[in-house]
A and B are shown apart, each in its own frame.
Chain A
Amino acid sequence: GAVVSQHPSWVICKSGTSVKIECRSLDFQATTMFWYRQFPKQSLMLMATSNEGSKATYEQGVEKDKFLINHASLTLSTLTVTSAHPEDSSFYICSAHSERTFASLSPQHFGDGTRLSIL
């Protein structure tokens, strides 16, 4: 149980285009989803936290107009990287947490990440 699916696994696109990444909780309802970014040989950095039906909360230094997050349902959150540039190339990972299905101290479950390369 507690499977999180992320799509696509990898994407290559031209500079200036927008890229959408989907994160789905397959067998539970995710009340909260988190988005992380990981550069090579570095640790995961939290970008934003999103609760179903409300606006995402962004970490300091993360541009909310560039990284659009939508959490319209309890099983789906999307991250759109708008007008992507080479410096946005990174490994993007989502995780999901549920207080409805599990106890509040249940762990976050992670997707397998999306490797984004901007040419």
Chain B
Amino acid sequence: DAKTTQPTSMDCAEGRAANLPCNHSTISGNEYVYWYRQIHSQGPQYIIHGLKNNETNEMASLIITEDRKSSTLILPHATLRDTAVYYCIVIQAGTALIFGKGTTLSVSS
């Protein structure tokens, strides 16, 4: 599986957009980009996934570069409850998620 690189931590003010980057320069053509987050002492929560096109759902937007070597997760209006560890994972469909260290996002008022 392709590896991903994420910043260790990021800060965001409440109400502002949180933009979380992820590099996946060795991604293969049949691999998807998945984003999960884990709030302290809970199981990971699915956020969004994509292959080539940008995606948006009720939680976030996913922007994938044209060469697919990087992506950005956007939380449009961050709240205190968005404080969590965010994981960017690149996998083939249906295979196990392998978690890296993720980005710890701290949202403050």
Contacts and interface: CB of A to CB of B under 8 A. Distances in A.
Interface stretch (A13-21, A68-76, A78-86, A92-100): A92-100
B54 interface: no
A8 interface: no
Contact of B97 (A95, A99, A111): A95
B29 interface: no
B100 interface: yes
Interface in A90-118: 91, 93, 95, 97, 99, 103-105, 107-113, 115
Contacts of B42: 112-113
Q: How large is the interface on B (under 10, 10 to 19, 20 to 34, 35 or more residues)?
A: 20 to 34
A44 B44 contact: yes
Question: Does more than half of chain A's interface fall in helix, strand or loop, or is it mixed?
Answer: strand
B49 interface: yes
A112 B41 CA distance: 8
A63 to B, nearest CB: 18
A8 B5 CA distance: 34
B2 interface: no
Interface in A1-21: 4, 6
B104 to A, nearest CB: 10
A67 interface: no
Question: Does more than half of chain B's interface fall in helix, strand or loop, or is it mixed?
Answer: loop
B99 A104 contact: no
A113 B49 contact: no
26 contacts: A32-B94, A34-B96, A36-B99, A43-B87, A43-B100, A43-B102, A44-B44, A44-B99, A46-B99, A93-B44, A95-B43, A95-B97, A99-B94, A103-B93, A104-B94, A105-B32, A105-B94, A107-B36, A107-B46, A109-B46, A110-B44, A110-B45, A110-B46, A112-B42, A112-B43, A113-B42
Interface of A: 4, 6, 32, 34, 36, 43-46, 49, 91, 93, 95, 97, 99, 103-105, 107-113, 115
Interface of B: 32, 34, 36, 38, 41-46, 49, 87, 93-94, 96-102
